[in-house]
């Protein structure tokens, strides 16, 4: 075991740092999706042009073809440099693209992947429905096969970036009368197609970042189905494993910055003299250190065995809950100034309110605990 990096990796780290130092935008990313879309696209394009998009994606599709450790190094330096959140490119870059790399046809890959890396195509995820949240297998949106097309009717909800997206990962029922996990397909849906209506939804933090999406006889070519008709559940599970698996790398660096800032703030305003606060800060500092250790352990597991290992679900839950504890502390340290919050403010209260998502989106904390209990500890399935 060791926690050092090879000379080659260290050189790569220097390269990342140098480029980021002179290229991270000085202006802040606007917090609302519609205002930020231009910013998000331009920044992604800049990353792509300089060779920093898709570090471990295949070179044939615009990536760099580098190792996962180099990807980690990039994400660490990215967070250290306070580079902007990738925003609207999140879905395409973090799970849409990786799902295509794993499951899509050559034609699908060569059309979509480079566009994602270039920030030219924005993706969204159409999994959840009003009646299918944690119980994703109860999806009702259906696609009737007509010639070489699917004719889609139904609705999706909580679709992040739907109102700015060009494409969607759409999971729908393509076999009439099918139940649960069977008869589903994962299709690439053109968000500009006729018959799609988008009703944006505002979050309690003020942003309009997700939406309800209605499908009224929307036509999708059958050639847009990924991984074969009826294999949607399997493909969707790979999407979720990417969604649940990549975010934490940058998260651990950000958590390190946050806890350092919180301790400095508590010193400056004297609240650190409260033993309860000092103890919570010390605890979180230890937990943030452990988060990095877990991340490294997980990544080296992937390098050694090609798989993230069963403890990946543990990291995901721990990251989410630790993030929320940090956000709560930041608000606590604001004292009564926290009540000044109004929509549009980009401060700790905003992060705190937004942060409720981390134990809901992509599988709630309860569902994660089921997964840990059942897959890691072998307890009987509750569902």
Partner 1 sequence: MDLTLNDEQEALRTATADWCRDNMALEDARWRAPGLWAELEAMGWTGMTAPGMDLDHATEAVVFCELGRSIAPIGLLSTAAANRWFADGFAGKVALALPADEPGDMRVLDPGGSAAVLMWQADKLCLFVTPDDAPHAPTIDLSTDQCRRSWTVSVQSDNTAAPLHLQLLAAAYAVGCADAARDMAADYAKLRQQFDRPIGWFQALKHICSDMAVRAAVARSQLYYAACALDAGHADAAFHISAAKRLADQAALDNGRANIQVHGGIGMTDEAAPHLCLKRAHLLQFIAPADAALLLKDPV
Residues with active-site annotation: 243
Q: Would you say 37 or 263 has its CB closer to ligand FAD?
A: 37
Shortest distance in whole angstroms from residue 221 CB to ligand FAD = 22
With a CB cutoff of 8 Å and minimum separation 6, the contacts of 162 are 124, 126, 156, 168, 191, 198, 200, 210, 211, 213
Query: Closest by alpha carbon to 130, among 11, 62, 214?
Result: 214
For position 184 contacting partner 1 by CB under 8 A, the verdict is no
User: Are 154 and 140 spatial neighbours (Cβ–Cβ below 8 Å)?
Assistant: yes
210 touches, from partner 1, ligand FAD, none (C-beta below 5 to 8 Å by class): ligand FAD
| Size (the chain), residues | 383
Of the two residues 52 and 127, which places its CB atom closer to ligand FAD in the complex? Answer: 127
Contact 98, 58 (CB under 8 A): no
Q: Which residue, 202 or 267, is less far from partner 1 as judged by CB?
A: 267
Q: List, in sequence order, every residue forming a beta bridge with 185; answer none if it has no partner.
A: 172
- CA neighbor of 277 nearest in space, from 352, 339, 269: 269
- CA of 29: how far to CAs of 24, 88, 316, 352, 370, in Å? 11, 11, 26, 18, 36
> Residue 61 binds which entry of partner 1, ligand FAD, none, with Cβ cut-offs from 5 to 8 Å by kind?
none
Burial (CB < 10 A; 0-12, 13-18, 19+), residue 8, is exposed
Tokens found for residue 127? 């999994």
> Smaller CB distance to partner 1: residue 42 or 379?
379
> Nearer Cβ to partner 1, position 120 or 261?
261
Which residues of the shown chain bind ligand FAD in the complex (CB under 6 A)?
A: 124-128, 133-134, 158-160, 210, 357, 360-364, 366-367, 383
**Contacting partner 1 (CB under 8 A), which of 42, 140, 286, 345?**
286
Interface positions, 287-346, toward partner 1 (CB under 8 A) = 287, 289-294, 296-297, 299-301, 303-304, 311, 314, 317-318
Minimal distance in Å, beta carbon 321 to partner 1? Answer: 9
Helix (H, G, I), strand (E, B) or coil at 197: strand
Residues that bind partner 1 (CB under 8 A): 1-5, 9, 69, 260, 263, 272, 278-279, 281-283, 285-287, 289-294, 296-297, 299-301, 303-304, 311, 314, 317-318, 366, 368-370, 372-374, 376-382
């Amino acid at each position: 075991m060791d926690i050092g990096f090879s000379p080659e990796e260290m050189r790569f780290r220097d390269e990342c740092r140098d480029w980021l130092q002179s290229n991270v935008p000085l202006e802040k990313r606007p917090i609302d999706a519609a205002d930020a879309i231009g910013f998000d696209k331009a920044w992604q394009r800049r990353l792509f042009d300089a060779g920093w998009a898709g570090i471990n994606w295949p070179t044939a599709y615009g990536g760099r073809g580098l190792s996962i450790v180099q990807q980690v190094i990039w994400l660490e330096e990215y967070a250290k440099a306070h580079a902007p959140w990738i925003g609207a490119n999140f879905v395409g870059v973090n799970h849409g693209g990786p799902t295509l790399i794993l499951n899509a046809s050559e034609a699908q890959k060569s059309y979509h992947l480079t566009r994602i890396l270039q920030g030219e195509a924005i993706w969204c995820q159409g999994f959840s429905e009003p009646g299918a949240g944690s119980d994703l297998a109860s999806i009702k949106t259906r696609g009737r096969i007509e010639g070489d097309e699917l004719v889609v009717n139904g609705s999706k909800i909580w679709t992040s970036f739907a109102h700015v997206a060009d494409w969607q990962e759409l999971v729908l029922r393509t076999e009439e009368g099918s139940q649960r996990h069977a008869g589903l397909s994962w299709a690439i849906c053109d968000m500009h197609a006729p018959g799609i209506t988008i009703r944006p939804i505002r979050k309690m933090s003020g942003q309009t970042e997700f939406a309800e999406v209605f499908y009224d006889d929307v036509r999708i070519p059958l050639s847009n189905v990924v991984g074969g008709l009826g294999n949607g559940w399997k493909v969707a599970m790979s999407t979720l494993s990417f969604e649940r698996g990549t975010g934490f790398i940058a998260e651990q660096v950000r958590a390190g910055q946050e806890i350092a800032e919180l301790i400095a703030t508590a010193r400056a305003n004297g609240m650190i003299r409260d033993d309860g606060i000092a103890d919570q800060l010390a605890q979180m500092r230890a937990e943030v250190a452990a988060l990095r250790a877990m991340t490294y352990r997980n990544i080296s597991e992937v390098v050694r065995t090609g798989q993230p290992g069963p403890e990946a679900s543990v990291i995901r839950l721990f990251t989410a809950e630790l993030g929320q504890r940090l956000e709560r502390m930041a608000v606590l340290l604001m004292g009564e100034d926290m009540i000044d919050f109004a929509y549009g403010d980009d401060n700790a209260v905003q992060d705190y309110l937004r942060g409720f998502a981390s134990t809901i989106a992509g599988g709630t904390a309860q569902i994660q605990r089921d997964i840990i209990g059942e897959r890691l500890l072998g307890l009987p399935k509750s569902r």
